Amino acid sequence: MSNSDVESRKGSGITVNTSNNPGLGNEIYTDSNIETNEQNNGNGKLGKWQNFKDSFKEAIPENSESYIDKTELRDYNELTDVERAALNSSRTQMKKDLSTRHLMMIVIGGALGTGLFVNSGGSLNTGGPAALVIGWVIIATMMFSTMVALGELCVTFPVTGGFTTYATRFIDPSFGFAMGWNYALQWLILFPLELVAAAITIKYWNHKIDSDAWVAIFYVFVFILNMLDVKIYAETEVVMSLIKIIAAAGFFILGLVLIGGGGPSGGYIGGKYWENPGAFSHGFKGVCSVFVTAAFSFAGTELIAVMGSECSNPRETIPKAAKQTFWLLTIIYVTMLTLIGCLVPYNDSRLLNSDPDAKASISPFVIAIKNGGIKGLPSLMNAIILIAVLSVANSSVYASSRVFASLADIGHAPKILSYIDRRGRPLVATLFTLIFGLISFIASSSKQNEVFTWLSALSGLSTIFAWLSVCIAHLRFRRALYVQGRSTDELTYVSQTGVWGSVYGIFMNMLVLMGQFWVALFPTDKADAESFFSVWLSLVLFVVFYFGHKLWKKNWTLFIRAKDMDIDTGRKHIDMELLKQEIIFEKQRLANSPLYYRAYKYWC
């Protein structure tokens, strides 16, 4: 910030940094006459144009909320890397405009996509209808314990980056560095991948138009949405996610009709496909394959942690959004896949179609509708698939930019990526993601499959690493509370499954990794090195990041000692006695409520 900028802001009550670290200065100014756009008061074309230009300038630090800062009496340059990470991540300039509704729909936008509408067809073929239900239910139990643990950490520490920051603070900076970069790369690569998938989906109707033309249209659409205010972006995700939810509800009704023999081209189906060709395909290995696919279908649920610093009221918003999103996704997945298992036999030849240009036609939802003899609806379902793919592409830009910005905040990425503009957008990180997305213009190339296969391999296991880090960080945080003589009484939200839920989450994630190892190494009866590295290359990258950071920082400790953890910086100043009274009052109120209401409040 230049001296002229500082001088222009004097008298405003806003803290402006004058030290080496942005946001940590202690000189106070007022917000009068800060910029030309305020002088124009937004009136007329000049004022609107000036407002638009000024919106891209760096955000002015605000002191609207009070946070605990254990390092405030020490010089910034004397702080350790972990202390700097805790301090910087707690001083975000992002706008706190997101509500429970926004959080739920953004998470659904990132999680409810090709995993349900397309990839479930491959899982049906490899595992069978019973394996679909078993795999998704078991993974759902793991996801609940992980989500509530994540909710506890997010409510306690509503900081930028969520679990990437928690891994650095409560596990080890090198682990946080490796996991954060691996996770950011996942969303970075997913953006162009989904744009290409959207272009391929269009080929269901038209094969003549070049795929790059559709990529260009979709790219501009996503670009504009991510350059708008976060609230506008969130409202767009609400609309697209609602379309997917309505489509799932519509298919539920249609599926029941078709199973009962109400379709134009079919009699009573019932559970005949569970008997012939059978409930399971490819035995136990098929179940493991579905188990792995089910885990990856929930990828995106952890975005709640990434959005924690942009919530208007974390204490109320995050727990409700975490639990309700989990139940909504689980009900949609299990219900839809149960119906698909009844409507499509696992040996249907269309499920084996490996042609990428036939991506839409191999959707088990489209196959089920075609089998029922209903005309017109396959095209409608394909349109839903297209919306789902674009929604995931949109969410990937949001997620990637926020994670890169948080990595920059805690010193794990170039500082420029932490630039937040006056609309609360991580502008540089967003532009970086959008520029990388230009790789999607290889959609017309014959080499696109090879390129994206190996790009995806760089972060193929990042979601599992993220969930593992959440469970481990939660255990380490609870251990720090115990060792430092503190308790969960001071927490505004406590995980329903507690530490044992996180232990269960770690165990289940390790099972998923073992299943992925087996399926990747032996896709058939013989070992396949290319198949193995197309999945496990991400582990190699994780190890390189981890030990690279160890060498860079010369940090050879395995984990941070519980007695040395900072479990205060980044937490809001709260009157603990008042909080305890509020909790007691709430418990008494719930105790006098009907049983169904108490169960609802506990689980949802």
- Reported as a single tens digit per residue, the pLDDT across 516-546 is 888 888 877 777 777 788 778 888 889 999 9
For the cut 60, the answer to whether the pLDDT of residue 119 exceeds it is: yes
- Decide if pLDDT at 73 tops 90: no
The distance of Cα 547 from the centroid of its chain, to the nearest Å, equals 26
Average pLDDT over residues 103-112: 78
Question: How many whole angstroms separate alpha carbon 64 and alpha carbon 427?
Answer: 22
Q: What is the largest CA-CA distance in the chain?
A: 79
Average pLDDT, integer, range 83-94: 65
Say if residue 74's pLDDT is above 60.
no
What's the pLDDT tens digit per position in 346-389?
888 877 654 444 444 468 888 888 888 888 787 888 888 888 88
Question: For position 25, what pLDDT does the model report?
Answer: 40
Whether domain 100-457 has CATH 1.20.1740.10: the reply is yes
- Tokens at 572, concatenated: 């809001």
Query: Looking at the predicted structure, is the pLDDT value of residue 271 above 90?
Result: no
Neighbours of 32 (CB within 10 A): 12
Can you read off the two tokens belonging to residue 602? 């506990």
Residue 72 has pLDDT above 80, yes or no: no
Over range 211-220, report the average pLDDT: 90
Distance CA 316, CA 96 (A): 13
CA gap 413, 436 in Å, rounded: 16
Q: In Å, what is the CA distance from 90 to each residue of 17, 318, 425, 562?
A: 15, 17, 16, 21
Closest CA to 99 of 414, 321, 270: 321
Give yes or no for residue 396 having a pLDDT over 80: yes
21 or 395: which leads in pLDDT: 395
| Helix ranges, 308-423 (H) | 314-343, 364-371, 377-409
CA 187 to CA 392: how far, in whole Å?
A: 10
Q: Taking the CA of residue 127 as centre, how many other CA atoms within 13 Å lie in the half-sphere pointing to its CB?
A: 27
Helix (H) or strand (E) holding 15: strand 12-16
Decide: 200 and 209 in contact? Cβ < 8 Å.
Answer: no
pLDDT tens-place string over residues 398-436: 889 988 988 888 888 898 998 888 887 888 999 999 999
Q: How far apart are the first and last CA of the chain?
A: 46
pLDDT of residue 21: 46
Q: Go through the chain and tell me how many residues it has.
A: 604
pLDDT digits 0-9 by tens, 120-131: 888 888 888 998
| Residue-level pLDDT at 264 | 80
pLDDT of residue 18: 36
CA–CA distance, 148 with 493 (Å, rounded to integer): 9
Tens-digit pLDDT profile for residues 282-339 = 778 888 888 777 887 888 788 877 776 677 777 778 888 888 888 888 898 999 999 9
- Most confident range, picked from 3-17, 26-40, 307-321, 496-510: 496-510
Residue pair 427/227 in contact by the 8 Å Cβ criterion: no
Quick check: 270 and 135 in contact, CB under 8 A?
no
- Side-chain-side CA neighbours of 164 within 13 Å: the count stands at 35
Q: What is the pLDDT of residue 357?
A: 47
| Structure tokens that stand for 304 in this block | 């709640």
Question: Model pTM?
Answer: 0.82
240, 391 contact by CB (below 8 A): yes
